[in-house]
Amino acid sequence: MTTKKEIEEQQKINRLIHFRKKYINESLNKASKSLGEHQSSMHLTEKGERRISLKLLSTLYEKYNMNPEWFLHGTGPEVLADEKPKNTMDVIGELRTEVSAHDKKIQVLEANLNRAFRMIEALQKELGK
């Protein structure tokens, strides 16, 4: 008799095989190379004779954006739409870049505004003559 845990493990293996063929490569040999795994290890994993390693799961998540919820439970999209979650330093770096871009736009606007004021003053002087 097959236990619930064995069924769940087989479902994970089936999702792994599906993901590998759809998003990485149909060929186990080529997919293994892309994943940094030995073909024999991948073969044993896909046959259910070897546990799925954390290294493999990490690579699938980091490199191929596999949705852990889908892998573990079969729910949600196979691939996460967004990039992996950003850490605080990444967000700060992006904000600095945006602020810098806005600062440059402000400088251009100020220069254009000063030029416009000078043009208005020059026109007023001409009209006043």
CB 66 within 8 A of CB 43: no
Residue 81 lies in a domain: no
Is 97 part of any domain? yes
**Residues 64 and 102 placed together within one structural domain of the fold:** no
The pLDDT score that the predictor gives to residue 82 is: 65
- Cα end-to-end span (Å), the chain: 105
Among residues 25, 45, 73, the one where a domain terminates is 73
On whether residue 25 sits in a domain, the answer given is: yes
Pair (61, 97) in one structural domain:
no
Q: What CATH number is associated with residue 55?
A: 1.10.260
Render each residue's pLDDT in the chain as its tens digit; 129 residues. 789 999 999 999 999 999 999 999 999 999 999 999 999 999 999 999 999 999 999 999 989 999 999 999 999 999 998 655 667 887 788 888 888 888 999 999 999 999 999 999 999 999 986
User: 12 and 69 share a domain?
Assistant: yes
Q: Supply the range of the domain harboring residue 126.
A: 86-129
**pTM listed for this prediction:** 0.61
State the pLDDT at residue 85: 62
For the chain, the domain total comes to: 2
Based on the fold, state whether residues 12 and 66 are members of the same structural domain. yes
Buried b (16+ CB within 10 A) or exposed e, 95-114: eeeeeeeeeeeeeeeeeeee
What local confidence, expressed as pLDDT, does residue 114 receive?
A: 95
Q: Which residues contact 68 (CB under 8 A, 6 or more apart)?
A: 57, 61
Domain boundary among 73, 94, 115: 73
